[in-house]
Amino acid sequence: MGTIEETKVIQAINRLEDAQALLNEVSKKDNRFNEKFAKINSDLENFESQLREIREKLNVENLGIKGMAVREL
């Protein structure tokens, strides 16, 4: 995968962070759904962690590809 895919993974991470922030904001104003929000936030954190691992792998791959391209020049 290329840098475009890595960028999209980063965007997905940012959106998960935004979703967590929104849920936290809602739960501060209305605590009726705190248990559900806590579960959802836990799942979002897990997805975010997995996406960060993918991003790191893509970053390493992209650095390797960029390094190979530089050597070919």
Q: What is the pLDDT of residue 21?
A: 97
Number of domains in the chain: 1
Cα(66)–Cα(12) distance, integer angstroms:
24
Q: What is the pLDDT of residue 12?
A: 97
Residues of the chain above pLDDT 70, percent: 86
Q: What is the pLDDT of residue 66?
A: 59
Under the banding of pLDDT at 50, 70 and 90, the label for residue 65 is low
Under the banding of pLDDT at 50, 70 and 90, the label for residue 70 is very low
Contact between residue 55 and residue 2 where contact means Cβ atoms under 8 Å apart: no
More confident residue, 15 or 64: 15
Q: What is the pLDDT of residue 68?
A: 54
Cα(69)–Cα(57) distance, integer angstroms:
18
Taking each helix axis from N to C terminus, what angle separates 34-72 and 3-29, rounded to the nearest 10 degrees? 160
Expressed as residue numbers, the domain containing 28 is 3-72
